């Protein structure tokens, strides 16, 4: 793992737990659980530089999700993520996951949240890194399932910092999940929504106007919509950009085409995260190194992105 070369405090706002499990941990958990793995684990959990689509990219999370079906596995993965954040110079990190996907062996969503929260607490105790936990509704699931996720989040307000909507925008709209987000808003729980990744500006407008998103996950397809850019700038709706992942999924063609730098220069609240530390084989250090190598990115850009992330964090309801 790269060693940070800067003293700028780092904030990571967009990091999926199931995409950030160490490959060695996936292998250990598979052995412990008797799950047959017929190829080297790294080949199964690290996606290629160009997957061509979000759908292909997500297949590399299948095995990690398979082994994260017990409380002990979730606790271990969460604790190790905090350790990895510490090594990466992160002082505050938000991790997100979909608790409804961890019930294959009978674990309840409440049990899954408690297991992850325990891992975060263990990690905080040993590293001093502050954390926030976000729960993900999923676009392909029913409105009732999303409402159940929001209700789970509210039952665990002492450890849950926010609500998210993830999934393929080209196949599923956000509108059906409005009730879940209305519930969160009424309880004062902040929300972020994946949008402008697989689909265009229309998905970002929907995230903002229908679901009331305070932040947008990725949002790289906003550049051609002047009205949208003005809205994002005026309302300070942060963009959680993940450069390596954005290239892997085809959201942008290459790092040289990534809009992070021009959007920062245009006053947009851009932030930089890893998305999936294992699937994308990356760290924040590597993200910044790649941006510096491929586009006109400097330490000044990094400092501004970190300032934006600190201001956009859901830390007021996070475990510190």
- pLDDT tens digits for 81-96? 999 999 999 999 999 9
Torsion, Cα 62 64 70 76, to 10 degrees, reads: -160
- Give the whole-angstrom CA distance, residue 151 versus residue 252: 35
Any domain includes 170: yes
- Give the whole-angstrom CA distance, residue 278 versus residue 255: 19
Average pLDDT over residues 131-140: 98
How buried is residue 198: exposed, middle or buried, by Cβ count under 10 Å (0-12/13-18/19+)? buried
Any domain includes 43: yes
Instruction: Give the rounded percent of residues in the chain with a pLDDT score beyond 90.
Output: 92
**Which residues have a Cβ under 8 Å from the Cβ of 101 and sit 6 or more positions away?**
18, 65, 138
Any domain includes 138: yes
What is the pTM assigned to this prediction? 0.95
Any domain includes 2: no
pLDDT of residue 295: 85
Within 10 A of 16 (CB to CB), how many other CB atoms are there? 28
Any domain includes 319: no
∠ Cα 17 27 106 (to 5°): 60
Average pLDDT over residues 56-67: 96
CATH code: domain of residue 19? 3.20.20.140
Range of the domain at 271: 10-313
DSSP secondary structure letters along 7-53 = -S-EEE--BBGGG---HHHHHHHHHHHT----S-HHHHHS--S--SS
Any domain includes 141: yes
Q: How many domains does the chain have?
A: 1
Positions marked active-site: 197
| Cβ pair 188, 153 in contact under 8 A | no
Any domain includes 161: yes
- Pull the structure tokens for residue 25: 């941990």
pLDDT grade for 202, boundaries at 50, 70 and 90: very high
Any domain includes 39: yes
Query: Residue 5 pLDDT more than 60?
Result: no
């Amino acid at each position: 793992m790269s060693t940070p070369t800067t003293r700028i405090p780092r904030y990571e706002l967009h990091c999926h737990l199931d995409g950030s499990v160490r490959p060695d941990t996936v292998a250990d958990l598979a052995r412990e659980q008797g799950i047959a793995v017929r190829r080297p684990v790294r080949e199964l959990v690290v996606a290629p530089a160009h997957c061509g689509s979000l759908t292909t990219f997500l297949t590399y999370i299948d095995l990690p999700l398979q082994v994260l079906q017990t409380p002990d596995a979730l606790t271990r993965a969460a604790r190790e993520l905090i350790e990895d954040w510490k090594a990466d110079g992160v002082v505050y990190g938000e991790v997100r996951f979909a608790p409804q996907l961890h019930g294959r062996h009978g674990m309840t969503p409440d049990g899954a949240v408690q297991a992850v929260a325990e891992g975060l607490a263990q990690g905080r105790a040993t590293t001093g890194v502050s954390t926030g936990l976000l729960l993900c509704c999923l676009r392909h699931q029913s409105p009732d399932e999303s409402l159940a996720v929001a209700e789970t989040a509210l039952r665990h307000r002492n450890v849950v910092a926010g609500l998210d909507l993830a999934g393929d925008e080209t196949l599923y709209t956000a509108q059906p999940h409005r009730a879940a987000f209305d519930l969160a808003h009424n309880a004062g729980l902040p929300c972020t929504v994946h949008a402008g990744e697989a689909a265009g500006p229309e998905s970002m407008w929907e995230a903002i106007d229908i679901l009331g998103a305070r932040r947008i996950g990725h949002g790289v397809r906003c550049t051609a919509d002047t009205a949208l850019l003005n809205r994002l700038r005026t309302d300070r709706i942060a963009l959680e950009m993940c450069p390596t992942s954005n290239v892997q999924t085809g959201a942008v063609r290459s790092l040289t085409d990534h809009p992070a730098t021009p959007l920062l220069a245009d006053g947009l609240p851009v932030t930089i995260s890893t998305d999936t530390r294992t699937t994308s084989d990356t760290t924040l250090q590597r993200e910044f190194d790649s941006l510096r190598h491929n586009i006109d990115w400097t330490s000044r850009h990094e400092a501004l992105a970190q300032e934006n992330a600190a201001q956009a964090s859901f830390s007021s309801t996070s475990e510190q």
